[in-house]
Structure 1
Amino acid sequence: MRDTLTIFYADDDLDDLEFFKKIIQMNGGNYRLITHKNGDQLLQALENPPPSPALLFLDINMPGMNGLDILKTLRESERYMKLPIIMLSTTKEDSVIQKSLELGASYYVPKASNFKELKQSIEFALQINWGNFVPNQNNFLYHSN
């Protein structure tokens, strides 16, 4: 049995937060999820641990600081340089995906239009060995089966 993994997830869409919570709950007790409704709330939590996340899921389209702004801020901090950050967004534009990679995101998961596919994509991201994963053009974007 492995230790409980703390996951932070920031998204301004309350339905998406609930779907994510449900998916994490369905995956047993190996995860502790802490959600944030916007970028400012997330950054405040990161600046005031504990807890500290082992994994961060980040929406892009949020009011105020968007996910790309937050990603850039976190990657400029020595403390969060190596934190696995998964972009989870409805945005499927190549330019935004490329910008996420350039800014240092670890992985990009387009939000699926149905719960089953969303669950599969999040579970896939949770199974990645982040200690060994090096993102590049070929492995950065999640593709559904």
Structure 2
Amino acid sequence: MFKLLNILFVEDDAIEVMMFVRVLQKIGVNHRLIEASNGEEALAILKAKEIIPDIILLDLNMPKLNGIEFLKLVKSGEETRHIPVIIFTTSNNHRDIATCYKIGISGYIIKPLKYEDYLVLVKKTLEYWSSNELL
């Protein structure tokens, strides 16, 4: 049985956000999506503690506070280190991948260019995490 997730989606590209929302609608799952356009905004959402995300989907290349800087803060925080963070980015840089795993990510996904591939990837990712036992 799949459970509904609170997803913190940290992405600065409005087109990417629209595509992600479209995919959620297409797969017909009503996960709660909390959007942040950069790491600073995402950090403020976490500090407010109004909604604790079940998972964080995080882009790396963002203004203000980039993905790796945000990730370090999340994984060093007592109240946030347990939240699974999945990197969702276009970067296939081996150094980025290694750094993120050292900090403590739960997965690293390179965004596909084709919409159909993107849809399948998001669907599988969300199915996996909505069937996991989360804190």
What is the TM-score with the length of structure 2 in the denominator? 0.90
- 1:3-28 CA-partner distances (Å, limit 9, x unpaired): 53111101111100111111122232
What is the TM-score with the length of structure 1 in the denominator? 0.84
Query: Match of 1:68, as an amino acid?
Result: I
- The equivalent of 1:62 in structure 2 is 62
User: What aligned pairs does 1:9-88 form with structure 2 within 5 A after superposition?
Assistant: 9-88=9-88
Preserved CA contact (<8 Å) 2:40 2:65: yes
| Cα distance change of structure 1 residues 103 and 130 upon mapping to structure 2, 3 Å threshold | farther
User: What aligned pairs does 1:102-113 form with structure 2 within 5 A after superposition?
Assistant: 102-113=102-113
**Could you list the runs of 5+ residues in structure 1 that have no partner in the other structure?**
133-145
Aligned residues: 132
- With a CA cutoff of 8 Å and minimum separation of 6, indicate the structure with the bigger relative contact order: 2
| 1:97 paired to 2:105 | no
- The equivalent of 1:114 in structure 2 is 114
* Structure-2 separation of matches of 1:80 and 1:130: 18
Report the CA distance between 1:2 and its aligned residue. Answer: 5.1
Identity %: 27
Query: Match of 2:111, as an amino acid?
Result: K
* Structure-2 separation of matches of 1:100 and 1:131: 23
Preserved CA contact (<8 Å) 1:8 1:55: yes
* Structure-2 separation of matches of 1:25 and 1:8: 17
Preserved CA contact (<8 Å) 2:10 2:35: yes
Query: Match of 1:40, as an amino acid?
Result: E
Following TM superposition, the consecutive aligned residue runs of length 4 or more in structure 1 with deviations greater than 3 angstroms are: 129-132
Report the CA distance between 1:80 and its aligned residue. Answer: 1.2
